[in-house]
Amino acid sequence: MKIKFGVVVFPGANCDHDAYYALKKILGFDTEFLWHKDSDLKGSNVILLPGGFSYGDYLRTGAIARFSPIMDEVIKFADGGGIVIGICNGFQILLETGLLPGVMQKNINLKFICKDVYLRVENKNTLFTKLVDKDVIKIPIAHGEGNYYADEKTLNELEKNKQVVFRYSDVNGNVTPETNPNGSLNNIAGIINKDGNVLGMMPHPERACDTALSRTDGALIFKSIAESFYK
């Protein structure tokens, strides 16, 4: 089966072309842009909500993008079992829609952070990580509001159900306050929904797919998604 990625384009987004380039030009997947005012997913098998600053991050990050016409279709798609991945601002949008639990707050140091981070892969039995053959991956972050928060009950459910997929760590997989770049509870960097078909993550895997950049760990996530269609 040929897999097709749909990359949603919101006004203010600045990582949609990064995602498109990584998926189509580097990894060779059929990829198409999806305009935020449209209501047609154009036969996409996977929907990607990119990073950036949709609608200028007015009100709250992702708060306005959540009401874009395309998001009604994305929500229906996800509720029907369709695969959705939200990266950085895309993760924030997924939280606003309720497709994933929790909220994002400003980084604990109140500064924008852009750097490479290490992520401990907490759950390799997801369709997003099945081909990740290492315990720790290296992927860049670039955000000002990546401080994940959820109430105690929600946090306990995430941990119990193994919905935490990525956690900020050091190169050896040690999870400590020092390895937490933004103050996220439990060092959370990425989570999935209970059904396992929606992933939100703050780090940018699309920026870690090119050998020319000496960063390829992100490609493992997209290849894992594709693998679920090749069975």
Which are the catalytic amino acids? Answer: 88, 204, 206
Query: What is the rounded distance in angstroms from the CA atom of residue 11 to the CA atom of residue 14?
Result: 9
Burial 122-138 (b: 16+ CB within 10 A, else e): bbeebbbbbbbeeebbb
Identity of the residue numbered 144:
G
Tokens representing 125 are: 């039995």
Query: What is the rounded distance in angstroms from the CA atom of residue 181 to the CA atom of residue 188?
Result: 10
Query: What is the rounded distance in angstroms from the CA atom of residue 39 to the CA atom of residue 36?
Result: 8
In DSSP notation, 82-98 reads -EEEEETHHHHHHHHHT
52 backbone dihedrals φ, ψ, rounded to 5°: 135, -145
Query: What is the rounded distance in angstroms from the CA atom of residue 28 to the CA atom of residue 52?
Result: 23
Pairing of strands 46-49, 4-9: parallel
